[in-house]
Chains A and B, each alone.
Chain A
């Protein structure tokens, strides 16, 4: 029962009735490349871009704006039969200045043999920008894959993916909590290649401040080398 609550019941949706909220709608295309280095080590590289199609901040409205491109690489090591640990680096290229992010993560799977096995990821990152103080974040994400054509996902079959993530951030003396919900549909083209499309909803400023609602249409390709 707890696993279903974690996945579907805990997203914190604060109804923001103030005029100080921002709505952003856009696209989030991503290509993720993965390659084994040996039996236990693996490297994962990602390029992700974000485009804002609509931004409504009260009186200010924006139609189409390129926001940023992220280039990331993470090296992971299998530390258990169903768990990995890793670290990596992300370079954010944005018109208003680049950022450097250092990432550490631990992921594991639970519920083997159950109806809905879950994948968990606990990660931390530190982001450095030239003009602002460093931001530190702690994240927890739970993700589920639901095969649509059998008990397990096989090549040539479709699936649904659902995820929920909580991100606690500390920037100077300002703290914030962001929650994300992802719903996507995917196709396992082969054991090495998956394609997905879906919606990633993000809500931030749960503890106060200007609330931001983000609705991102995701198009993702996961390719094995």
Chain B
């Protein structure tokens, strides 16, 4: 893995932003060392008791600078996003759709069927948002008495108006769709030809 210093990352991002159309959404991430992540974020992860080595990433986008930590715990892949000063924003846990409670599977399927003619789920993530203390307890124990919110992020291949594309759908626990975003896949001529 190649590491680049943060000043170069920000410089490259700035140059690219200037060179792009003002209406283009831009987002890029690079792998960083743990020593380059905010100390509060590192401490949060250390208290999370991950079973595998945690990988750190720095992400620049139109929303600003953020950090992401990815690691495995109890066989599940966790992704924790932090703001620029190291406060946790959300936790995402990748699960199998069939491992969700049956009532939740039914609610999600019902919502997706109302939007897509056909669909195939490719990835399911449970997203937790809340206070840093709540997120830490959720990470450590899977539950907390503090206030927190759950959403389900579903990545699928779906058909609408006889056109098939990839989508990211955010659904709340009642099954209501919060947001649908089309995933634009990067061109891969160097792999296809």
Contact = CB atoms under 8 A, between A and B. Distances in A.
A152 interface: yes
Interface string A12-43: 00000000000000000000101000000000
Interface residues of A, number: 38
Given A148-B1, A191-B186, A113 B166 contact: no
A150 B31 contact: yes
Nearest to B28: A154
Interface string B18-34: 00000000001111000
B30 A157 contact: yes
Contact of A81 (B4, B166, B189, B191): B166
Interface residues of B, number: 30
B164 interface: yes
B30 to A, nearest CB: 5
Contact of A145 (B4, B28, B164, B188): B188
Contacts, number: 84
B186 A81 contact: no
Contacts of A156: 12, 16
Most buried by A among B3, B30, B158, B188: B188
A214 interface: no
Contacts of B94: 113
Contacts of A84: 192
B187 A34 contact: yes
B165 interface: yes
Nearest to B94: A113
B122 A113 contact: yes
Interface in A60-84: 74, 76, 80-82, 84
9 contacts: A46-B193, A80-B157, A112-B123, A148-B1, A150-B28, A150-B57, A156-B12, A161-B190, A192-B187
